[in-house]
Amino acid sequence: MKGTFVVFEGQDRSGKSTAIDNVLEKMPEAVYGKGLNSKTIAGRFAKIFPSTLTYLVEMAYITYTNIVPNLIRGKTVLQDRYEYSVTSFVPSVDKWYNRLLVKAFKPFFLKPDMILYFTCSPEKRRERLQAAADEPVHQYLLDHPEILEGREKKYHELMRNDNYIVIDTTSSTLEHTCNLALDKIRRIEHDKSTRFLCAQTTIKNNTGGGYYETRSTR
């Protein structure tokens, strides 16, 4: 697929969603993908009956109804949360039956061209969670900081074989964070486009009866 697939990941209050909203303002040609609790039929069902299974079904549904069609069209898809948000959700995901579900669903997911992982210091995250402590999930995380630590480790474990970039928003301004993310996206778009054109040229040359090695220039 000639499009570019970029995933925005990170724990609650890491600055991820704010960043993707601002990047989309500067990339109106990009396609936005909502992850957990999307407005799709699978997302609405998962919101009513939250579980590892329903969230995995939602991610698979999104993959083949939004992500794949747009990548085939050559679009850049900016996905706000993907399978990593489900498979990093310790301690729930560590239950034996959920581990089996994660393994069973793995073939249905795409490998992103790049993951932008947003994080911040524990102190800054606590400050941000306290500002939104009226939401039960945020208060729960404030009361159980060990869960945040465990999920952070799980994220890095899951992404170790992927092309991921850590963006620390602890002391970064919104403008700097968005410009950094935008720069990384433009670079991966350029690299993907160059590789695609080189592959097309090679196929064309082979079809013409001769083989000519083509290399991209940087």
Task: Report pLDDT digits (tens) over 74-127.
Answer: 999 999 999 999 999 999 999 999 999 999 999 999 999 999 999 999 999 999
Contact 51, 95 (CB under 8 A): no
Report, as an integer, the average pLDDT of 135-157.
Answer: 93
* Beta-strand pair 31-34/76-80: parallel
Task: Work out the percent of the chain whose per-residue pLDDT is above 90.
Answer: 82
Give the pLDDT confidence of 22-44 residue by residue, as tens digits.
Answer: 999 999 999 999 999 999 999 99
pLDDT at 108: 97
Task: Assess whether pLDDT exceeds 60 at residue 59.
Answer: yes
pLDDT number for residue 207: 55
Residue-range domains of the chain with CATH: 4-207 (3.40.50.300)
| 127-143 average pLDDT score | 91
